[in-house]
Structure 1
């Protein structure tokens, strides 16, 4: 069975670049502001001229003009229609903004003695904000273009060093103003005023400067592995700065001391600890604190840099010769295990949302700390500090950080509240990045942040469940054990299947921009782990995320490994108490996977914003029930977050059941729970398949409706004309649901088989309806999602075949159902007579990849391995399956020979083993036939 690991698909960052405009970032007298231009709806040559004027002002000799241009562009990126935004990008907007970043005077590597000039620093901060807004709200290729234009150069050589240098001063009390020497000349007074203005600008804008820089680094780290390789050259600087912002003293939380107890050579005695804590309390009273929104950005960046990137892990650990615990790990553990959040900062104004966001920021920060520590704990390191991290992650306090968010989620209530407050928002008003908490915009923003926090928690939870760390000894025991269609015209071609179509060369040394646009479009490279668990590519969609290691994990669970696993976990029942924390988790995840009225809605279900032009909703011809109601455009972020939550919940449930199924008898589940999850997963797949079919059905186009332009893009579009990318995004979420749902069904049927005392048969503790097998064969396996020649389609097929193999051999299975499964499996083997046996109306085809073929062989052999089963005689023997199976051996052998032993040694080894099992099984069944014939004579 395959576990699901993935990259985040939505960045839960604040989109706005700054908390408030800089005081001097105002247009010159008589010039209209950018929002005024937008409201007036100017088009054509005048608008193009205004855009070009803004770009020219970025290079103006007057500093205030540069600040105004950068600030205006940062705001325009959030409100411009896609066509005009593409026009700006075509005029080298990214290059001009990066040029402004490099124009900040600095005295590095020597430490600067004074802040940069106010205008230069303000221009750089606003330019960072514009780039950051582009990165979090645009397609991935925009981030690759930033990297190709060498965004990393000013970030790592100017901004990160300056930020690190001025951090201590920012947390210290403000310095007194600079006074000119007396008698003061006009030039000296001017220099003093400039120095004071620079210091004031730095102090007022420092945290926004930090956040903009960190979010850009985060987006770069998440994009693809080639860009991550470029970041690895600066990983020490990035990690040190992130950890400096996450220091527990600077956040105002208590230090976690548990890791320094025991035999730690660096352990302090009680008197020293008390004295130091007293000094620390005095220092804290004098120092400022890092705002939580900046700490969240630092944790997001740190998590992205550490994820599937072992070269960066060493920067968080102490040296091998050191006996002390890493201060960086202690800071992350302090955040994770701190019992309460630091005090909220005082509100700066009645509309300040800082206090309202404080608890959400703290929740996100703790989840990200869990995720960063989990990346270190998943490895094979035996270091004491890593072992201490593993122990901390297994504690109830750490697990509650994730489980409490899952337990407290109320998605239907959030969807209803969101729909209610969205009706109160003026659709003609410009977006406000920081609305007051009591306004409809502020309430909707709070719901969005809560949904994003839950989504992040589910993603980390899914990784945690896949890692083998969640339990105590019972999980430890089991966790350690853990294409294109065949070308008939070219018989000699190497056959690696869909899951083999991944780049073999993972270039971790590329620092230039060459070839990265293509890499971002393809989603980067597959990163495999030793346990055979798939990990999604950076910045990729799930349909390309499956690798050959996914199927290694799938097949290992079903291909004759059950006895070995049972032996491996013998005696683990005494550790079943370690599973108590997970007792209610399956039903909670199942509940989160149930769609709300705002879930899985295409863009055509939302009314166009008045800023994008007139809505075409009146000419809309709905293609499904979900599209008959137009929702306010303000609900789009919440709807997308809810949809992603459903998918992440079912993925986490898939990973949980994979881990539970490997835990043997210690993880046997309650029959009612299994039944509920089994039926819920089947219902979820049915709804996803029906929704996909309804959404893909072509709608009649009346003459009054203008034809679609045919252009692709993720920009805003009129309500009546959903773009292909918007449709594909929703369909992709449905595909993910079907893929994870098939894994949940497989896990349920494995956990649902229990051994009868005194019998070699296994009873099935679940109720299986007569339509279950036809649904899996005719609806799931034959669905367009499964039929797609992609790794995701391959995963759906393999998981469905695995579930069918278990369903078909349960006790008291009807002979007709067993025959339907057996014939279906036999029809997938490469023989010309296979189609003759497919009499159940299913649209099957010969297995198109090695993993599908191997799973077919394993399921079929397990299905008819016992000739004494009640269905064996009427189905296998009287049904004439043996001659067809024997005839398929030659086709299977020829197919396996196409798997290149040099490129895919592990896959070829498993394929050779499956072929040996098939040959031995055919011979065994022939011997059985001879014995039965001899008895009859």
Structure 2
């Protein structure tokens, strides 16, 4: 079985609050889909007006126009709103600078990679770099002597700091080039100052600093090394991580508590990014996962009800709609007041709660990913390939291969870490969090940020389950006896997928398609822990075949093949028809050009597993389907595919090694089966 998908192939961006991938590209399309087209051009002009009040008003208006409105945001982008606002960061009036930073911050959060890349390319880091020492100086003054400035002045500085920090956080996830540029700003002392003074600063600003640090410590050695080398920084993070409790979406007065929980979860995430810690740090001898992370993370994912969150959002949206009737004309051409309604605050609290759960799940996904990387033998020569022949050749060409097919994971099993003992505690909340609500994939959504957050939670929950079961597969004895648990997880995943919809109906790149792609990894993991224990159902087999055929991504297709193999191994005579259908499909995947190399290799592994026992009921299908001849005939094609793997590409060396193992096992299996003479 392949290794778990425990490493991200790209940097993780803060969740886009209003996904707009469904919108057509181009300025004309944005103009036709926005109901605020007439307001855009006057606002763009006013950003550069001679009157500072007009400039300030226009910056505020940009934030209002893009609120939950990706069409208008794209229309503003087409009018160079990013470049115009960056120009206002050097405005002579401080209030204009503050509002411009706020508008850019909101564009970052609502726009994602594309708009952040545009900001980086238009050199937003130059003015931002000048703000950091100024903010540090004022922050130190306010912390040491809080009475030196009015409450309103402090509020402006803290909000401005939050805006600058959030922009930096978003930029650091845009590209490696942007990340390196942010690293050059040496932000660790700046950000840690907010965390160290958290009891004297607004929680929202401190949380933004923690979020930025969480991103910057993710696989980023310069920042990680700097923090690990400072014992006071580590101690501060350790204190922050000691959070207990969970956000409660039903409690309308819990905004501060929810932000405090979010800060604690971020502290956990930063510590996990930084681990392991070298002595003399006191945390070096601590079991980070068991003693610090799990006690904080498990309550966060166990105490939230997605259905209650959905019901709360529907209630707030309904009240908003009722109150807004008759007020549209008054608010249409002017910025909204800073004061937020109870409904807006309620929606924000729900979103904060859901995003905190998502963050906790992301960290838990890393905790669950306990499979080690395989140990590669550097002595293996790239050209050290035996020549294998098809089934029509003499068996002597296979004489140097083992008499018995070796276990596919035998070479690395001694490096496997114990299965996560916390899984039984984590299982129930995860199975609840994968179940969609009526808002999870709603289009159009009555509240897009909630829909986005729910989709992200489903994805993170599936990823967490996937890694957990791959970890269990490395040491299956801990779970193999509890067959009912595996069957219950299998049923829960299919129940969730039924609510998501058919894979054939999920548009490529959509949230529904993404859920299918990650959920099938859970099915593969369950099948690996409990092979032969899951009874196949015709609809499930058809869905997995349809998904495999619909995808061109080898990673997804490998999962599909693994899940199908788990069903094909069910030994009951009633399952023989499914075994025959699956085996026939997997054999077809061995044809040259039919699929990618990784999928071909997984199909070979799966067929060996399915027909490993010549005394099993499936032997009848093995003989009737002439599987041995088909496998023997595929040896040469597999050999060529393995030989064609480029070790110089990312992951190529590992794939080549794995391919050579599969090739050897295929040859050994064919020889062993022929030797049986049955």
Q: TM-score w.r.t. structure 2 length?
A: 0.81
Is contact 2:46–2:54 with CA below 8 Å preserved after alignment? no
Is contact 1:13–1:297 with CA below 8 Å preserved after alignment? no
Structure 2 CA distance, aligned partners of 1:893 and 1:695? 36
Whether 1:897 aligns to 2:675 is: no
Q: 1:751 aligns with which of 521, 524, 529?
A: 529
Greater share of helix: 2
Describe how 1:85-484 pairs up with structure 2 within 5 A.
Answer: 85-86=73-74, 88-103=76-91, 120-156=93-129, 158-174=130-146, 202-234=153-185, 237-247=186-196, 250-252=197-199, 289-318=200-229, 326-337=231-242, 356-377=254-275, 383-384=278-279, 388=283, 391=286, 393-426=288-321, 427-428=324-325, 439-466=342-369, 468=370, 479=372
Structure 1 CA distance, aligned partners of 2:75 and 2:522? 46
Q: Which runs of 5+ in 2 are unaligned?
A: 19-34, 376-404
Is contact 1:402–1:461 with CA below 8 Å preserved after alignment? yes
Name the count of aligned residue pairs: 613
> Deviation of residue 383 (structure 1)?
1.8
User: What is the DSSP-based 3-state SS (H/G/I as helix, E as strand, rest coil) of the residue aligned with 1:782?
Assistant: helix
Describe how 1:549-588 pairs up with structure 2 within 5 A.
Answer: 560-563=407-410, 579=421, 581-588=422-429
Describe how 1:832-911 pairs up with structure 2 within 5 A.
Answer: 847-872=594-619, 874-903=620-649, 904-911=652-659
Q: Which runs of 5+ in 1 are unaligned?
A: 15-40, 104-118, 178-198, 253-288, 319-324, 342-352, 469-477, 483-557, 607-632, 697-727, 754-763, 832-845, 933-937
Structure 1 CA distance, aligned partners of 2:102 and 2:114? 18
Q: 1:3 aligns with which of 5, 16, 20?
A: 5
Aligned in 2, Cα 1:56/1:354: closer, same or farther, shift over 3 Å?
farther
> Deviation of residue 674 (structure 1)?
1.7
Is contact 1:5–1:462 with CA below 8 Å preserved after alignment? no
Aligned in 2, Cα 1:385/1:803: closer, same or farther, shift over 3 Å?
farther
Aligned in 2, Cα 1:436/1:927: closer, same or farther, shift over 3 Å?
same
> Deviation of residue 830 (structure 1)?
1.9
Structure 2 CA distance, aligned partners of 1:51 and 1:867? 76
Structure 2 CA distance, aligned partners of 1:42 and 1:674? 52
Structure 2 CA distance, aligned partners of 1:200 and 1:173? 12
Structure 2 CA distance, aligned partners of 1:822 and 1:176? 77
User: What is the DSSP-based 3-state SS (H/G/I as helix, E as strand, rest coil) of the residue aligned with 2:637?
Assistant: helix
User: What is the DSSP-based 3-state SS (H/G/I as helix, E as strand, rest coil) of the residue aligned with 1:425?
Assistant: helix
1:550 aligns with none
Aligned in 2, Cα 1:877/1:127: closer, same or farther, shift over 3 Å?
same
User: What is the DSSP-based 3-state SS (H/G/I as helix, E as strand, rest coil) of the residue aligned with 2:441?
Assistant: coil
Aligned in 2, Cα 1:224/1:48: closer, same or farther, shift over 3 Å?
closer
Is contact 1:587–1:673 with CA below 8 Å preserved after alignment? no
> Deviation of residue 336 (structure 1)?
0.6
Structure 2 CA distance, aligned partners of 1:864 and 1:815? 12
> Deviation of residue 390 (structure 1)?
7.6
User: What is the DSSP-based 3-state SS (H/G/I as helix, E as strand, rest coil) of the residue aligned with 2:93?
Assistant: helix
- Please give the per-residue CA displacement for 1:855-879, whole angstroms capped at 9, x wherever unaligned: 111111222333343432x222343
Q: Which has the higher contact order (CA 8 A, sep 6+)?
A: 1
- Please give the per-residue CA displacement for 1:109-149, whole angstroms capped at 9, x wherever unaligned: xxxxxxxxxx6322211111111111111252111111011
Which is greater in Rg?
1
Is contact 1:434–1:442 with CA below 8 Å preserved after alignment? no
Is contact 1:565–1:664 with CA below 8 Å preserved after alignment? no
Structure 2 CA distance, aligned partners of 1:667 and 1:390? 29
Structure 1 CA distance, aligned partners of 2:624 and 2:526? 31
> Deviation of residue 389 (structure 1)?
5.6
Is contact 1:77–1:130 with CA below 8 Å preserved after alignment? no
> Deviation of residue 448 (structure 1)?
2.0
1:788 aligns with 551
Whether 1:650 aligns to 2:462 is: yes
1:528 aligns with none
Structure 1 CA distance, aligned partners of 2:647 and 2:40? 59
Is contact 2:172–2:182 with CA below 8 Å preserved after alignment? yes
Structure 1 CA distance, aligned partners of 2:97 and 2:481? 57
1:592 aligns with 433
Structure 1 CA distance, aligned partners of 2:235 and 2:261? 18
- Please give the per-residue CA displacement for 1:30-73, whole angstroms capped at 9, x wherever unaligned: xxxxxxxxxxx9975xx57633540331xx3x655544443444
| RMSD (CA atoms) | 3.4
Describe how 1:691-770 pairs up with structure 2 within 5 A.
Answer: 693-694=504-505, 732-753=510-531, 764=532, 766-769=533-536
